[in-house]
Copies of this chain bind each other. A is one copy, B any other.
Amino acid sequence: MAIDYEFISSAAVSSELRRMRSRRPLVQCITNDVVQEITANVLLAAGMSPAMVPAPEEAAEFARGAADALLCNVGTPSEENSRGMVLAAESMNRAGKPWTLDPVGAGGTKWRDDLVSRLIDLHPTVIRGNGSEILACAGFEHSYKGVDSLDSSASALDAAKALAVRSRGVVCVSGEYDFTTDGKTVLATRGGSVMATLVVGTGCSLSALTAGFAAGAENVLVSTAACCQFVKFASEAAARASKGPGSFHDEYLDALYEITPESLARS
């Protein structure tokens, strides 16, 4: 397979982390019921400020006001939080602020796919998913088994490019390799740990992090790939220090907190 991509540099990752930490972006999250706590804790550990504000009665007002970035994650959609997502995403668009779509379980049921499609049409700044989800979003053939991906990120790269053209934004497909693309350029990151796949919410919270990294970014392609590399380093550090998914969870949060721009620049 000939894939035309380049790896993001350590200097760029370090610089993006420094920029994000100095801003401490407030990330409004409309996410699924399973990963609320880990998402908030991942954002806090990494240096962001989370605010879970999904209700349609206030989601748009909050997005217009305090939020620096927004996450829409369709893991456990409901009539209510679907409306909240659409209202908040429209607010962010009007205010010129970034938002990320995480199409959890895309391709799984018709109702979910309709919601995902409606959100893609609102032009998310970033779409982040696993191979199967990105294939499904782009209308390509995909395997499906619940929320686990049976498709590699490389097999979804063409789909990611096509989806970026349709959404007019950046698309990131995660796996052992993460590929981030705007439809033309592809930035890659590699590493991480399979242990992360045994802890619920590591992917969902990565999407939340990409939203925060995009706040104030000069180049969202770079900020997204930098975020992915930062998270892979944290996963690797956590895997070295843990003996199972329970200890990995805590070590991962500690690593997100302990990694500095300086330590990344040396890596």
Residues of A contacting B: mostly: mixed
The 8 Å CB contact of A37, one of B38, B198, B257, is: B38
**A76-B55, A245-B44 given as contacts; is B35 within 8 A of A200 (CB)?**
no
Q: Are A26 and B245 interface neighbours, CB within 8 A?
A: no
Protomer copies: 3
Give CA–CA (A28, B25) in the complex, Å. 34
> Is A129 in the interface zone, CB < 8 Å from B?
no
* Neighbouring B residues of A247 by C-beta, 8 Å: 250-251, 254
> Is A96 in the interface zone, CB < 8 Å from B?
no
Q: Are A201 and B250 interface neighbours, CB within 8 A?
A: no
* Neighbouring B residues of A50 by C-beta, 8 Å: 146-147, 200
Give CA–CA (A250, B244) in the complex, Å. 8
Interface size on A, residues (CB 8 A): 65
Give CA–CA (A24, B257) in the complex, Å. 33
* Neighbouring B residues of A32 by C-beta, 8 Å: 52
Give CA–CA (A147, B198) in the complex, Å. 29
Q: Are A199 and B44 interface neighbours, CB within 8 A?
A: yes
Query: Which of chain B's residues has its CB closest to A61's CB?
Result: B109
The 8 Å CB contact of A44, one of B37, B61, B108, B200, is: B200
* Neighbouring B residues of A66 by C-beta, 8 Å: 108, 144-146
- Tell me the chain A residues, 123-169 only, with Cβ under 8 Å from chain B: 144-148
27 contacting pairs across A/B (C-beta < 8 A): A33-B33, A33-B52, A33-B54, A34-B40, A34-B52, A36-B37, A44-B200, A45-B244, A45-B245, A49-B147, A49-B148, A53-B105, A55-B76, A57-B79, A58-B108, A61-B110, A66-B144, A66-B145, A66-B146, A67-B146, A244-B254, A244-B255, A244-B256, A245-B254, A246-B251, A246-B252, A249-B250
Contact surface of A with B, Cβ cutoff 8 Å: 26, 28, 32-38, 40-41, 44-45, 49-55, 57-58, 61-62, 65-67, 75-80, 105, 108-112, 144-148, 197-201, 242-247, 249-258
